[in-house]
Homo-oligomer: A and B are copies of this chain.
């Protein structure tokens, strides 16, 4: 396995299992001179922390970050930034039949087949704690993007069937409800929906949307490392994500060209688009409009409801997964999607610096 790194210049490498000593990330290729403090990273980590509402797991994890390298006198030095979050409460316990069973919807079975044995104490690398490294890196990428005036926003578009339509977006309400939805009243309905599922020891999924404003035109590398292609990899690589779309996405496939094409027009000497069905990319490069992507998140796999499955000895069994699991992971996934988006944009921004000789001359001549 050598799939723990992402990015070509701004390159992150995450490591760590849920029940080992800790989790973390090394960020190589972050330019020098960006203001960065542990608090900047902690603020991002706090957004994915459990125990923030009755709809998330009540596990108590403080997830406190330590900067081990790459920052000096409050600024990045250009050398690799190593970030460590110790796991808490990793004491050995009796994992009972969970240790030898393949939980439905989990990676236990392919993990066992791939590696020959597995760390049965949790999801191992498939644990939700793996996203801590992503979010820590996302905080650093966001600091970089902030230096250039690029801002990201992520929120929950849907919890199960409770969807916020674009016309009902009220971004100021995002932080006012348990689901990070841009509409408090739909969030309330989502709360009722999740509560009813919790009563049935069941779970649900939802949709996360993320936008980015302020991108220069032309970010993204034709043809395989397109902005949308790398965003698709970045977001689909998050544990429970099963679908990714840009702009109108799947809806575009049922549209006609004359409506789906975004007309250009001049606005005070700037090229603009009248509509943004493309979601901010053309030919895999940023087109100057708002970047828009959506991620489909599946229902939490760990449910207390009895399920059929098999164990490692090849016997059919029944399983009921107890423990403090999120009935819906979507609210905690919001910052993860935002983080992976930030990391992807940061890397492609740096790569794009070398796209034309004029840029290179700006740096080296005079």
Among A49-57, A72-80, A168-176, the stretch that binds chain B is A72-80
Within 8 A of B (CB), among A105-159: 105-107, 109-111, 113-119, 123-126, 130, 144, 147-149, 158
The reply on A45 being an interface residue by CB < 8 A is no
Contact of A69 among B21, B113, B269 (CB under 8 A): B21
Q: Using known A-B contacts A8-B2, A316-B266, determine if residue A250 contacts B257 with beta carbons closer than 8 Å.
A: no
Contact A110 B236 (CB under 8 A): no
| Chain B residues with CB below 8 A from A161, complex form | 254
Does A364 count as interface, using CB distance less than 8 angstroms?
Answer: yes
Bound Cα distance A353, B2 (Å): 12
**B296→A250 contact, CB < 8 A:** yes
- B residues in contact with A37, CB < 8 Å: none
A52 shortest CB reach to chain B, Å = 21
Interface flags for A94-110 (1: CB within 8 Å of B; 0: not) read 00000000101111011
A338 contacts the other chain (Cβ, under 8 Å)? Answer: no
Closest to A298 in B: B252
B271 close to A314 (CB less than 8 A)? yes
Interface centre among A119, A264, A278 (most CB of B within 10 A): A264
New A-B contacts (17) at CB < 8 Å, excluding given A4-B224, A110-B220, A229-B236: A1-B221, A2-B29, A2-B351, A14-B80, A14-B223, A24-B68, A32-B357, A79-B125, A105-B282, A113-B216, A126-B222, A206-B253, A207-B253, A242-B250, A252-B296, A253-B296, A269-B314
